[in-house]
Amino acid sequence: MRFGCRTLTLIIISEMLWSTRILQFQHTILLKPKREWATAEEEFHRRKQHWPQTIHRLIRTLERNEKLSNSDIRAVYSRCATQPSDLDPVLLEESKFTIGQWDFCSNRPHLKLIIVVHSYSGNSYRRNLIRSTWGSLRRVGEEKIGILYFIGQAPKPEEQIRINRENTIYRDLVQRNFTENYHNMTHKHLTVIEWLTLAECPWLDYVVKVDDDTFVDIFHLTRFLRVDRLKSTPGFYCTATSGAKPSRPHTNKQHNKWTITAKEFPKNIFPTYCEGFGYIIEAELVPYLYLCSLFTRPIWIDDVYVTGMLADNLGFKRQKFIPGHAYDRVGPKVDSEQLLNNIFLTCYHSEYLPETFRRLWENALTRSAVMQYAV
């Protein structure tokens, strides 16, 4: 969730070296159950018999693909099914994938990094801008990179025709049949998590989530992910916001777009969450988030829900960006040196998005010592 104007964000992650695999996460989750384990175990087996076949098929798929074991699933249940209304699983989004890309990873053996981009179905110009700049690379050094754009349904048939044509050319869209609006952003975020959970990507180490107005310095990103930086505390690496209060509706005041009622979210303070322009997470943690979402009542503010509420239930940490990984704002007139002296840059005016993206990309290429390896 980002407050204020539409922004351009530059992610330039600092220069470090590639890492080893993390310890199995199920040991972490089993150490501190939120409620008494024997009770949760008994309740799990009793209620599981009455769950719909769609849930049983999902669980069998997770076990068959070795994404989660049966003990993992029971452990997630003990952590996330803590309210009387959450004891049985609920799928927030059940619509079909109009465009699935289920062979994306199998067509890219040894793919270790996927960047998932939240995009509006009508934002083809932003997707093309990414494809022509930081998203134009499929490899940096020895590391393969995959980029997928997640969108909802097109509002008009003629726009769907354009989307189908775009996907025929680039093969990088994942589309699901839900309506695109702010109040359905959790549907999109969970679609990303569901896709990553069900897709067969056995080599995947990291997932980077960004919005389509985010610029990523892909060279610095891959260098950063070579170090064992995220492994000490499993969870999100992001700009973590703590102590934020929900914006409540008032009769005599104009509501902002983040207004949420006490019925939707009764607490007075949001959990610590990641700001929406971008985060990094280990790929093997994603199935836990998806399974936990089945037992955690959703709210429509997706950043708070996924990186806050689900993360809290699972015991995931929000590891704050190290010093220098914060973001800064720039105006439309700024010299090229300033553009890369900051880690994150936000643009005051969205109309300068194409110009700024291209200038950032030119400077990233110029500064990168590995540009000759990019293909």
Q: Report which of 279, 171, 285, 170 is spatially closest to residue 221, judged by C-alpha positions.
A: 279
What is residue 57's predicted lDDT score, i.e. its pLDDT?
A: 92
Ordered alpha helix ranges (H), the chain: 25-31, 37-48, 53-64, 70-80, 124-132, 157-170, 185-198, 218-224, 286-293, 302-304, 311-314, 336-341, 353-367
Look at residue 237 and give its three-state secondary structure.
Answer: strand
CATH number of 97-249+261-373: 3.90.550.50
CA distance 103 to 111: 12
Q: Which pTM does this prediction carry?
A: 0.87
- Contacts for 45 with CB less than 8 Å, ≥ 6 apart: none
Look at residue 140 and give its three-state secondary structure.
Answer: strand
Q: Are 212 and 8 in contact (CB under 8 A)?
A: no
What is residue 359's predicted lDDT score, i.e. its pLDDT?
A: 83
Length of the chain: 375
Span 118-132, pLDDT tens digits? 999 999 999 999 999
Domain range summary for the chain, segments of one domain joined by +: 39-80, 97-249+261-373
CA 81 to chain centre: 22
Look at residue 264 and give its three-state secondary structure.
Answer: coil
Residues of the chain with pLDDT under 70: 1-39, 227-232, 251-255, 323-351, 369-375
Residues 134, 138, 143, 144: what is their CA dihedral angle, to the nearest 10 degrees? 130
CA distance 65 to 201: 10
Compute φ and ψ for 251, nearest 5 degrees. -60, -40
- Scan for tokens 């800064």, then name that residue: 328
For 356-371, letters b (16+ CB in 10 Å) and e give: bbebbbeebeeebeee
What is residue 44's predicted lDDT score, i.e. its pLDDT?
A: 85
Q: Report which of 9, 6, 2 is spatially closest to residue 339, judged by C-alpha positions.
A: 9
Span 133-185, pLDDT tens digits? 999 999 988 889 999 999 999 999 999 999 999 999 999 999 999 999 989 99
What is residue 215's predicted lDDT score, i.e. its pLDDT?
A: 84
- The residue type found at 130 is I
CA distance 11 to 361: 12
CA distance 185 to 276: 11
